[in-house]
Chain A
Amino acid sequence: MHLSRGKLYTIVSIACLTGYIWLFCNLKSAQNTINNHSVCLIKNISNIPCPSCGTTRSVVFLWRGKLIDALLINPFGLLLSAMMLAFPIWLIFDLITKKQTFLIFYHKTEQFFKKPKIAAIAIFLVLLNWGWNIYKGL
C-alpha cells in the first residue's frame, strides 16, 4: 500500500530540481513578475488565489533575507524552503549510505497526518491561510 523507495526518491528529486529551476527563473526576472503570468490553474480560472499562491514570492523574499515579508506573504514559503533545503541532502545521504531513513520518515508523516485530529487541525490551518490569501488578494 506504500510507495516504493525508488519511486519516492525519483519523485522528490524531480520535485526539488523543478523547484530550484523555478526559483532561479523567478530570481533572475525583475521584481514580482510572477504577478503578471501566474501558472496557478485556480487563480487563472476563478481569479481567486489558491492556498499556496504567493509561495514563490515568499521563497524569493526569504532568498533575499526578508524573513518577515516572506512570512507575511505566505507562511507555506518557509515550509517549502525548509523542505527544499533538507530533502536533497537527506536523499543524497540515504543514497550514499544505502539506507531508507527518508522513506521511513515519509511513511511516518503520512500516518501522522491521517489521524483525524491532526488532519482536522491541518485542514483548518490551510483554510485559514487560504482565507488570509483571499483577504490579501495575492
Chain B
Amino acid sequence: MDAAKVDMFIMSNGKFFESHQVPQLRERLLNLDDSKWGLIQTVQFKDPTTSLIFSLLGGGLGIDRFVIGDTGLGIAKLLTCGGIGIWTIIDWFMIMGATRTKNMDKIQQFLY
C-alpha cells in the first residue's frame, strides 16, 4: 500500500494501539494489497480513554469489561462486586492496555 496512506492511517489511529505494536502494524500495512484500504479505513476502534472513564465510573459493575467486549470477565466482575474491589482498582491501570490489545486483535482480522 502507498506509504502516504499508511502514514495517514497511523497518524489518525496510532493512539488506539500499543506504541510497540505501531512499527509492526505499519510494516504490515505497507505490504498489504491496495484493495483492502477501503475496508481498513472503515474499521472502528475502541478509545482507551473512554474505557478508562467507564472503568473509573462503573468499574465495580464490570461495565468497562463489557464495553471492550470481554463479556465473560465483565460478568465475573459484576458478580464479585468488582473482584472484592481489588480487581476494580487493578483495572483502572490495566483497562487502557486491554483496550489497545483488543483493537490490535480487531485490525489483525483484516490484515491476514
Contacts and interface: CB of A to CB of B under 8 A. Distances in A.
B78 A110 contact: no
A42 interface: yes
Interface string A80-110: 1001000000000000000000000010011
A20 B72 CA distance: 20
Nearest to B85: A39
B35 interface: no
Chain B, interface residues (CB within 8 Å), range? 20 to 34
Contact of B71 (A11, A40, A83, A113): A113
Q: Please provide the 5 A-B residue pairs with the shortest distance between their CB atoms, ordered closest to farther.
A: A52-B81, A1-B105, A39-B85, A110-B71, A110-B72
Interface of B: 59-61, 69-73, 75-76, 78-86, 88, 102, 105-106, 109
Interface of A: 1, 3, 11, 15, 18-19, 22, 39-42, 50-53, 55, 76, 79-80, 83, 106, 109-110, 113-114, 126
